[in-house]
Amino acid sequence: MKKTILAAVAVALALVGCNSKEETKSVEYYKAHESERKAKYKECDERLVAALEKGDVEAAEAIEKEEGCKNAKAAMRSGRSLFADEIDDTDNQPAGGRGL
């Protein structure tokens, strides 16, 4: 009887754990949500660097294949720079303030 109850509790906990997995966001989502795009990109980059520093090539390859990381990276490459909002290019403008 106790084993049956313990087994049922274990199955219930396992099912709850499956539902807590983070939903993979699309490239379009990350394009529209800058702060989340930057956070995901940074998280993936930090995990990738850590894996490579440990010499764990398999983990690094797995991180690069994760849909969330690929989508955040694609959104970054779609014309938006990670630091685009921090660049002030006004000092590099020719006289008259008009760029090329």
pLDDT tens digits for range 36-76: 999 999 999 999 999 999 999 999 999 999 999 999 999 99
pLDDT digits (tens, 9 = 90+) for 73-90: 999 998 554 455 444 444
Sign of CA dihedral 58, 64, 65, 69: positive
